[in-house]
Structure 1
Amino acid sequence: MRRSACSKGFCLRTSSGPKLTAFSPRSRKMRQRLAHPRAWSPTSGTIVPLIAGRFTRWTCMPDRLRHSRKSVLALMAVAALVGPVGDARAQAAEELPLTGSAYESASQAYEAFSRGDYAAAVTKARDAIRQRPDVNRLRRLLVEALAASGDLEEADRTASGFIEAGIQDPELVQQRDRVRERISQRAIAAGRPGQQQAVSDRSFQAADSAYKAYARKDYATAIEQARKAVELDPDRRDYRLLLINTLSAGKRPEEAERVATAALADHPGDGEILAQRGYIRVTLRQHAAAADDFAAALQARRSPVRNTRALRLALADASLTAKQPQRALDALKGLRGERSYAVAARAGFALLALSRREEALDAFRNAATYGATAQEKATVTSAEIGLLVDLNRKDEARRRFAEAQSVLSPLAALDLAYLANRVGDDRTADEHFSRARAAGQLKGLGYVDAAYAAKRLYKNDSAAELLKAAIDEAASGRLAIEPQYLFGLRREVGELERTWGAYASLLYGAVGVMPSVPFAPVPTAGNVLQAGSEIYWRPPGIGYRNGAIVEVFGRVFQTLSDETDGPTGISTAQGSVGARWKPFSSFNLVLEASRLFPIGEYARTDGLLRAAFSDGRGTDLRVDVSDWWTWQVYGDLGYYVEEKQTVGAFEARVGRSFRMDGISNRLVLTPFLSVGGGYDSLLDTPEAVGAGAGLNLRYWFRESKHTAPMSFIDINVQYRAKLAGDDRAQGAFAGITLSY
């Protein structure tokens, strides 16, 4: 059997027997590790997998040590090298590659570590740090080498010095804590009298087995053995901590919390146990309770937590998540002299939650200057820009967003999309929403937000597709949204995809009566019965632009009866062609220009200019309630250019709509009260105003999974009494309309 290099009483060998040989820094693989920080760190690369997975037993440990408590210390020396690797890798990903003499010193330090020459590793690591103080993985290597050499106190002092100097590296904190645990265990083992050692051998052996199982990530065995150690020696606080840690690592946080709570009953006010339970409660999303534990741990006199900085930051995080921002600020007061990202960023979010926005803005800007990594700078820069929007400084926010594109680049595509959306940069938002969808990040309401960004860019096909995806998510149960909101999304799809439509109507006495179609002809006098139809088309590209609409139409109307004894029938057929424009997305003003031409002999040739405005609430179908209030206002003004005639109409109505579910859930009956009137400049009494009550019945149809009903049949009847002006605004009024 060949032995590997021994250090301080223990050695390792591989399962296959050969000694772990040194690797050459001159090899291509080693050069890649040193040159590219993502490739290797003391706890994430070559050494740790060998220790954690390939070494199977101790081979040159002295017999007297192999059966003593000191074997726990030897095992912990290995466990100190086996730690979480995700944070170290994430942070190392932001570090610049090593080059030149720093590269050479680092390669020699790694090589010395691999062959067990820890003194040389310490010297070379210190030299590399002197040349490249920005590289945290070199600091971790130095601490590892000191610990491996057996100088645990110096390893503790070195790691603590780095942390107290403001180095932001979670893995370094974990290393320091593991070193301190080893120091504690060594002190306990050294203080045991010989006869007591024999008595506690079984509990010690169980703990020893637990540590070994933990090191190889066999958490089930670690939990079993740690539990056994606690049962055999329930007074040993360290065994309780071991059981808590193994349960946490084994993803059994509920049980870990129960064990921690029981341990605190036996060891009240124990700072370390309180801190551990706090972290467990964070995992359980019990953030307020976790904050209580962290606060108690900070005040603990029994087994106080040495790393109060980490505890204050944990207290601030838990308090923020528990919506206790003032408590978070109070926790950070103990670190007020620290100029670091960790403190400034948390203070910024706490101040923001307290609506102290100007102070939060300063904190975020400070955090950006302290940020150690690109991700940190991106996070607080994003918060700064969002806060500028909240402060109604949108122009400044837009400029800052444009300037900070490179700083913001580490953010996920979806986060960038929402940030661009907030500052009003729809084009950039659309680009990032597309990237997020391609990466599989877009889901749920993200489809809706992406659709509206595309809609504002007049990308109707894309917007409709995204809304359909959201509707499909809702149909599958992956997106929980209110029924009426879902109906509104389907209504949006219908508008985005509509390219043409048609109307047919039969109207009687429609002076001052709101039409069911956009532009029925304005009656000029008396009670007349008119029939008509229209077909319209929305030109591609300009037909529908985020709620602004352009339509080209052709229209034919004729008078079927006239109480003033005017002509009726085909001889009154009036044709017209024209265009109408709704220039605003959210303001329902429509402008129309048309050319009238005669089909019958009594029709006119003229030009007509019209403007109409309408507004209302509750006029669409409701699917979330069976009855609801509704109101509408409408005004229409027209001018015949050649005849120099001005005509107009207006109506306001308020009523209660009832969905007739007993017949059809698409049938709506609305009783209403109204006031309306008309104007005709050629009449002796131009104005006419009346008020009364009416009844409207509307049936919606032609819908699909992705579109709300796109057509309806509308029947309207009402009776009015005269209020002012001519008599033509009183009496009965009726109409039936088909909108397709």
Structure 2
Amino acid sequence: MKTTLLSTVIAIALATATAPVLAQADAPLPLSGAAYRIAEQAFAAYERGDYPAAYQQSSEAIRLRPDVVRLRLLQIYALQKLGRGAEAQQRARRALDAGMKDPALPALAAAVPKTTTGAARSAALPRASATAADRNSRQAYLLATEAYAAYDAGQMGIAASKAEQAFRQQPKQGAWALLWVAALEAQQQPEQADVAISTALQLGAPNVEELRARRVVLTRQRALLLAQQAYRSLSAGDDAAAIGHARDAVKLAPEVASYRLLLITAQLQGDQLADAEHSADQALQVDANDLNARVMRGYLRQRQGSTLRANEDFDAALATPGSTAQQRNVRLLAVDAALAAGDRVRAAALLAPLQAPVPADEKDARAQLLLQQGIEQRAKAISSSRALPRISAEAYPAPVQHCQSGDSSNVCELMPADLQGDGGAAQRAYAAYARRDYADAIGEARQAVQLAPEDVNLQGLLTTALAAGNRVQQDEARQRLDAALAQHPDDAGALMQRGYLNQKAREPARALADFHAAEATGKAPKSVVLDQAYASAANGDHPQAVTLLRSAIDRADAGELPLDEHQRYNVRNAIANYSREWGVIASAGFRGARQAATNVGGAAISTPGDSVFSTLEAFWRPPAFNDQHGTLELYARLLNTLYDEGGTYESIRAVDPCTGESTPDARARAERLSHSRSTTGWPSTIASFGMRYAFGQTGLSAGIERRQFLGSATRQGEVYPASAAVQCRLQLALNPPLEASTLARYRLASGSGGWMSYLTYGYYHGTDLRTDVNQWWMVSGYAQGGYTWDDNGASFTLDALDANGTPVRRVGEANGRLHREQWFAAGELRAGRSFRFGSGQTHWVVTPYVVIGADWLDQRSRVRDLRYPLLPSQSFALNDSQRSWSLGAGPGVGVRYWFREDHYNTPRSYLDLTVQYRFAIGGGDTQRAKGLFATAILYY
């Protein structure tokens, strides 16, 4: 990062270094071409004492560039050396009449012509006087003459001293004050020159406006010197000194945008992102149209994770008028910001206008090639499904500053790092890393290190590139960091980087130790407290993680830790998740009535009614078992039926199990119809006590539970043998000939129960509350498979029924065992768009979606060891043994309200209502797959 950043600052320094220290506010353009060549010859002639040649060549240079004051002065001094004082005085007056400004010109124009070469300005002295005032005046003029002579000879220290003495004796001589100031400026002593101006004004110098104007120019010169010092400090790696010099330059010349950009650059290189953003804020307050400051602020905001505010800056920059190339560069930088935020949709939308064919520019074929490659690389990154790396200077490099000297100041444009041309292996490595081509980045970084093995920045680049590679390359990066830290154990950056690698390697204890060590150096970023918190959570210490995250909120409140609204929300959300040790889930599900079942083989036609089922669960997460590997939950659950409308059944035919013959039910239809309703309330309750374990971030969980049949209705029911032969045998043995209808029932003991084990995979994207946007995509789904079984002792009864189906006489009783088992699988997938509606930070979310659901059941029931009197032990399967599956799909809508939030926690509870209507699209049991479904859930 620093290598790239310094290369951009060099451009600024080279541009500013071309300006002379004594530059005026209206300094002419630099000499070039023939004028430059002739001027060099003139100065060289003067230096070697060839004054005729110096005069002739300076005159020719003035003809080409009459606006350059130093050429005029050279001509005047050459005339003086030639003894042509009157002509020199005339040339000085012409220069003043042309509007030229220099401290020496007024004195040269007023001087009495010299009669001999090199004579002092003694002719400018007044006649001798007998009074003390005249003697003082004469002394002052002598000092001034010596000061001018010293200035002409380049002896600026003597000139400044004698000019000061002369002016203090004659404070009405404003030209001497200017000479004093000019001599100090020539020695690059701007602070002393500023003091001299203040002194001159206090002593009553008459040329107040000139001195004040000189102070303005001097202030700019001081700012320029400070900017150059800032550059030198950046080159030396002294970020703190560079920031100080750049800040002082901005204070002296707040209107110069290049100094503000230099300050932002220095703070960015010093990893002072929040301060750099503040400097960009101030730059925009001075000039709201400062495009560079706005783009840099967008970059800085994205580097700090403030995506929404970064997008605002880039959108505003794109709306600012500019050249085609400038707008193209801003758009590419906005694409890079969107990719850094993981928003591939926004990145694609921003890149789309650039994917049209670009007219070829024969003058800059190399730039066209780089541009086309940059567009293609970004398109590739957008279409890639590879996880984006942590935002860093390497993964998201700063814009490159391309600066050149303008009419009045330096003009800088920003562009992506990969468009600045071929800067060697190092630059290619940075560009490859930025586009997530880590294999290429590692190769280029290795080449760069081979060329400059002593370059610390390149060594760091290679380590960073390796850290983004595969497991073997990450191990190499850790080894390099170990070696670097063995030599410099207080390198906070290396400690932080090794901590991140340890987290990737699922070694949170070592990561936490690195983060603590980085903090102890005093050089770690303020956000290290967040890294410590997440490492503590991965290490299983959720209470410590919560403590650290709460302290981060407190520091943000105090202004010590910069957190934007989105970052603060993420921290609060982590607190809510890590601090949860228990919870309660209450749900109610509605299943709408289905169509009547088709009569097959003499079975009764059934018309089910509406029903409502409920679940109440409480869970606890033992802190000692929750870490990076997974989360353990112990839970207790109650299930029952709240409401059942019941169903109507019509008897169509009677089937003799012995002969297989069926006879129509000759009764009137009213007598053939019967209505039954499932037991509701507590008698239908089943309790479960179990545990489940979620495996880290895989989405997989496994559980096992004990099911207890609490309600009386769950321990009794009817039994029908599946085999007609068994039905016939029991009927012949137990039924008197006149009793054609019987009812067999079972009853379990009060302590009866069973078991269930299951494996679940869940995927949930966009199901949490978001406050950074008002709408977002939602995709959620699960797939579950499991096995339930119970085997309990039971008492069985056989009762004779009358014509109305009412038991009238006990035919027989027996004891035995009832064994039931079921394999099951179910899955559901929802996809929709969530809308957070209302004003402000409302917690109401509505989600229309489409859903597809499927299930599969393999159910088997069997009676064992049944002993009726006069019959041997019986074992037989029951007729509820079956295997079926169903598949349905349809539209749905969900409404969710989030609540229970505070200063440290995001909403921890919600009330959710979903309604959907499914159409059967497959399966043997289509009735199970279609109809109205509704669910209400309270998660507390």
Q: TM-score range by the shorter chain?
A: 0.5 to 0.7
Please name the residue that 1:504 is paired with. 586
The reply on whether 1:188 has 2:267 as its aligned counterpart is: no
TM-superposed CA distance for 1:497, in Å, is: 0.8
Please name the residue that 1:625 is paired with. 773
Query: CA 1:247–1:381 in structure 2 vs 1: closer, same or farther (change >3 Å)?
Result: closer
The reply on whether 1:421 has 2:500 as its aligned counterpart is: yes
1:653 to 821, 825, 830: 830
TM-superposed CA distance for 1:733, in Å, is: 2.1
TM-superposed CA distance for 1:349, in Å, is: 4.6
Please name the residue that 1:677 is paired with. 854
The reply on whether 1:352 has 2:429 as its aligned counterpart is: yes
The reply on whether 1:407 has 2:484 as its aligned counterpart is: no
Residue range with higher mean Cα deviation, 707-716 or 238-247:
238-247
Q: What SS does the corresponding residue of 1:709 show, helix, strand or coil?
A: coil
TM-superposed CA distance for 1:648, in Å, is: 2.8
AA matched with 2:681: G
The reply on whether 1:700 has 2:780 as its aligned counterpart is: no
2:542 to 460, 476, 493: 460
Across the two proteins, how many residue pairs are aligned to each other? 478
Query: CA 1:616–1:292 in structure 2 vs 1: closer, same or farther (change >3 Å)?
Result: same
Distance in 2 of aligned mates of 1:721 and 1:615: 24
- Report Cα offsets for 1:408-464 as digits up to 9, x if no partner: 4252x2552134314646444423432444566556644433433333333323332
Q: Does the CA contact (< 8 Å) of 2:490 and 2:518 recur in 1?
A: no
- Percent identity between the two aligned chains: 25
Distance in 2 of aligned mates of 1:505 and 1:239: 77
Q: Does the CA contact (< 8 Å) of 1:548 and 1:583 recur in 2?
A: yes
1:535 to 601, 610, 618: 618
Please name the residue that 1:569 is paired with. 681
Distance in 2 of aligned mates of 1:510 and 1:471: 48
Q: What SS does the corresponding residue of 2:850 show, helix, strand or coil?
A: strand
Q: Does the CA contact (< 8 Å) of 1:382 and 1:408 recur in 2?
A: no
Q: Does the CA contact (< 8 Å) of 1:527 and 1:728 recur in 2?
A: no
Q: Does the CA contact (< 8 Å) of 2:426 and 2:458 recur in 1?
A: no
The reply on whether 1:594 has 2:673 as its aligned counterpart is: no
AA matched with 1:451: A
Distance in 1 of aligned mates of 2:151 and 2:449: 42
Query: CA 1:457–1:328 in structure 2 vs 1: closer, same or farther (change >3 Å)?
Result: farther
Please name the residue that 1:361 is paired with. 446
Distance in 1 of aligned mates of 2:176 and 2:782: 92
AA matched with 2:617: E
Distance in 1 of aligned mates of 2:896 and 2:401: 56
AA matched with 1:578: G
Q: Does the CA contact (< 8 Å) of 1:532 and 1:558 recur in 2?
A: yes
Query: CA 1:463–1:657 in structure 2 vs 1: closer, same or farther (change >3 Å)?
Result: same
Distance in 2 of aligned mates of 1:191 and 1:535: 88
Distance in 1 of aligned mates of 2:856 and 2:848: 26
TM-superposed CA distance for 1:390, in Å, is: 3.7
TM-superposed CA distance for 1:240, in Å, is: 11
Distance in 1 of aligned mates of 2:786 and 2:611: 19
Residue range with higher mean Cα deviation, 457-466 or 469-478:
469-478
TM-superposed CA distance for 1:577, in Å, is: 1.1
Distance in 2 of aligned mates of 1:459 and 1:717: 40
TM-superposed CA distance for 1:540, in Å, is: 2.0
Q: Where in structure 2 are the equivalents of 1:150-189 lying within 5 Å? A: 188-189=154-155
AA matched with 1:722: A
Query: CA 1:739–1:511 in structure 2 vs 1: closer, same or farther (change >3 Å)?
Result: farther
Q: Where in structure 2 are the equivalents of 1:484-503 lying within 5 Å? A: 484-503=566-585
Please name the residue that 1:142 is paired with. none
Q: What SS does the corresponding residue of 1:622 show, helix, strand or coil?
A: coil
TM-superposed CA distance for 1:489, in Å, is: 2.8
Distance in 2 of aligned mates of 1:284 and 1:483: 23
Q: Does the CA contact (< 8 Å) of 2:771 and 2:841 recur in 1?
A: no
1:722 to 889, 914, 920: 920
Q: Does the CA contact (< 8 Å) of 1:680 and 1:687 recur in 2?
A: yes
Query: CA 1:288–1:219 in structure 2 vs 1: closer, same or farther (change >3 Å)?
Result: farther
Q: Does the CA contact (< 8 Å) of 1:207 and 1:239 recur in 2?
A: no
Q: What SS does the corresponding residue of 1:545 show, helix, strand or coil?
A: coil
Q: What SS does the corresponding residue of 1:703 show, helix, strand or coil?
A: coil
- Report Cα offsets for 1:197-242 as digits up to 9, x if no partner: 9999765544566689959x7684267689999979x99xx99998
Name structure 1 gaps, 5 residues minimum. Answer: 1-183, 262-276, 295-314, 331-346, 372-376, 513-524
- Report Cα offsets for 1:118-159 as digits up to 9, x if no partner: xxxxxxxxxxxxxxxxxxxxxxxxxxxxxxxxxxxxxxxxxx
Q: Does the CA contact (< 8 Å) of 1:223 and 1:246 recur in 2?
A: no
The reply on whether 1:667 has 2:745 as its aligned counterpart is: no
Please name the residue that 1:107 is paired with. none
TM-superposed CA distance for 1:282, in Å, is: 4.2
Query: CA 1:291–1:691 in structure 2 vs 1: closer, same or farther (change >3 Å)?
Result: closer
Q: Where in structure 2 are the equivalents of 1:268-283 lying within 5 Å? A: 282=262
Distance in 1 of aligned mates of 2:884 and 2:183: 103
Q: What SS does the corresponding residue of 2:755 show, helix, strand or coil?
A: strand
AA matched with 1:389: A
Query: CA 1:491–1:289 in structure 2 vs 1: closer, same or farther (change >3 Å)?
Result: closer
Please name the residue that 2:938 is paired with. 738
Q: Does the CA contact (< 8 Å) of 1:638 and 1:646 recur in 2?
A: yes
- Report Cα offsets for 1:151-177 as digits up to 9, x if no partner: xxxxxxxxxxxxxxxxxxxxxxxxxxx
Q: Does the CA contact (< 8 Å) of 2:467 and 2:474 recur in 1?
A: yes
Query: CA 1:553–1:254 in structure 2 vs 1: closer, same or farther (change >3 Å)?
Result: closer
Q: Which has the higher Rg, Structure 1 or Structure 2?
A: 2
Distance in 1 of aligned mates of 2:493 and 2:200: 44
TM-superposed CA distance for 1:483, in Å, is: 4.3
TM-superposed CA distance for 1:652, in Å, is: 1.9
Q: Does the CA contact (< 8 Å) of 1:511 and 1:678 recur in 2?
A: no
TM-superposed CA distance for 1:361, in Å, is: 2.7
Distance in 1 of aligned mates of 2:563 and 2:893: 33
Q: Where in structure 2 are the equivalents of 1:253-402 lying within 5 Å? A: 253=249, 282=262, 292=404, 349-355=426-432, 357=441, 358-364=443-449, 367-368=452-453, 370=454, 377=456, 379-392=457-470, 393-402=473-482
Q: What SS does the corresponding residue of 1:706 show, helix, strand or coil?
A: coil
- Report Cα offsets for 1:503-562 as digits up to 9, x if no partner: 1222233999xxxxxxxxxxxx996532231111111221x3237211011122223345
Please name the residue that 1:180 is paired with. none
Q: Does the CA contact (< 8 Å) of 2:498 and 2:514 recur in 1?
A: no
AA matched with 1:589: L
Please name the residue that 2:755 is paired with. 607
Distance in 2 of aligned mates of 1:352 and 1:185: 53
AA matched with 1:253: A
Q: Does the CA contact (< 8 Å) of 2:485 and 2:494 recur in 1?
A: no
- Report Cα offsets for 1:241-297 as digits up to 9, x if no partner: 9867777689753698899x9xxxxxxxxxxxxxxx999984585998885469xxx
Distance in 2 of aligned mates of 1:718 and 1:583: 31
TM-superposed CA distance for 1:191, in Å, is: 14
Q: Does the CA contact (< 8 Å) of 1:365 and 1:384 recur in 2?
A: no
Instruction: Report the TM-score, using the length of structure 2 for normalisation.
Output: 0.43
Q: Does the CA contact (< 8 Å) of 1:206 and 1:229 recur in 2?
A: no
Query: CA 1:580–1:289 in structure 2 vs 1: closer, same or farther (change >3 Å)?
Result: closer
Instruction: Report the TM-score, using the length of structure 1 for normalisation.
Output: 0.54
AA matched with 1:489: V
Q: Does the CA contact (< 8 Å) of 1:204 and 1:229 recur in 2?
A: no
Distance in 1 of aligned mates of 2:840 and 2:192: 66
Q: Where in structure 2 are the equivalents of 1:29-44 lying within 5 Å? A: none
1:221 to 171, 185, 195: 195
